[in-house]
Structures are given as C-alpha cells and as structure tokens.
Amino acid sequence: MEQSVTVRLAELSDINDIIKINRLCLPENYSFDFFYRILSEYGFACAVGEVEGKVIGYALSRLERPFSTFIGLSASKGHVISIAVIPSHRKKGFGTQIMKYGMQKLIEHGVDTIYLEVRVSNVAAVEMYKRLGFYIKREFKHYYRDGESAFVMEWGRKQESEESEEAEV
C-alpha cells in the first residue's frame, strides 16, 4: 500500500526526533539550544512530516527582518535553515510536501522572498528546490566547513506571479 505523509507544524516536543533526523541525514548539525530557539521563536514556520505517527522529516525556517530604511520597512525574508527526510522515505514526494507547507506558512507571515544555502554537490536537494520554483542566485565559495561551496537559492513571490502571468498569455 502506498504511504502518505501528514504534514503539520513542528512542536517543541518534536525536538528530539528532529535532532535525530538532522544527525542521520546531514553533516550540518546544531546544538539542542539552537533547535530549541528556532522552534520557540519560529515554530509557526517549521514543519514536520509524519508517516504512521512517526516523524520522518522536517523543514525548519526563520524570518529575517531587513534593516529599516528612510522609506519604511521592507518585507521579511524567509530563510530555510535545514530540511531532511530519512533515507527510507525519500523519493516519494514527502520532502516536497514538507517544504511546500513550510513555504506557505512563511508566506502567511508576510514573506515574499525565501532563500537557502545548499551544497553544490547536493543534486537531490537542488533539483527539489528548482521544482519548487527556487533559482540559483549565486555561489558562495567555501561556505561549508569542509571547504565545499554553496548555492544560494531563492524563491520570490513576484517572480512566481510574473511567471504565471507569462504562462497565461
């Protein structure tokens, strides 16, 4: 039988599952306090996916407010900090569903731009982000501790609506 994922907002009680998945799936690991802070402050933009009641993936994001200018405050940006799906549940569309849910929550909180960093060698993630409408904005040389470079990828609401207008013509 095909499994489905239930995506919901992450809660503080999910923290140990999130940390376990993070350590299993990524070399970029953070302290308990870091995860606690993100979930406490930005839980409204953090998502987990559950299959049969078990957390199998997460996407954590935060809001970043730009400095104010003379003409007022511009919109906050969303920053995807970390996302992962456990190996046994990959390539089933679950990562996409978890990301979409988190992006929607960021948009509901006034964000019109979302960005993230990804290893240039991480084909799976780069492809998933492209399918979600992100584009490679620039390369950040030697971004990671081991010296690997990152792509900074960005999704923009304006760019998205321009694309759909073009498609409608």
Ligand X SMILES: CC(C)(COP(=O)(O)OP(=O)(O)OC[C@H]1O[C@@H](n2cnc3c(N)ncnc32)[C@H](O)[C@@H]1OP(=O)(O)O)[C@@H](O)C(=O)NCCC(=O)NCCS
What is the binding site for ligand X (CB under 6 A)? 25-26, 83-85, 90-96, 118, 122-125, 127-128, 131
Closest CA to 55 of 96, 91, 98: 98
Residue with smaller CB distance to ligand X, 102 or 156: 102
> What six digits make up the tokens of 8?
């919901």
User: Which residue sits closest to ligand X, CB atoms considered?
Assistant: 95
Nearest distance, CB of residue 14 and ligand X, angstroms: 16
Residue with smaller CB distance to ligand X, 12 or 124: 124
Do 43 and 9 contact (CB within 8 A), yes or no? Answer: yes
Nearest distance, CB of residue 131 and ligand X, angstroms: 5
The owner of tokens 């870091």 is 34
By CB atoms closer than 10 A (0-12, 13-18, 19+), residue 168 is exposed
Residue with smaller CB distance to ligand X, 85 or 111: 85
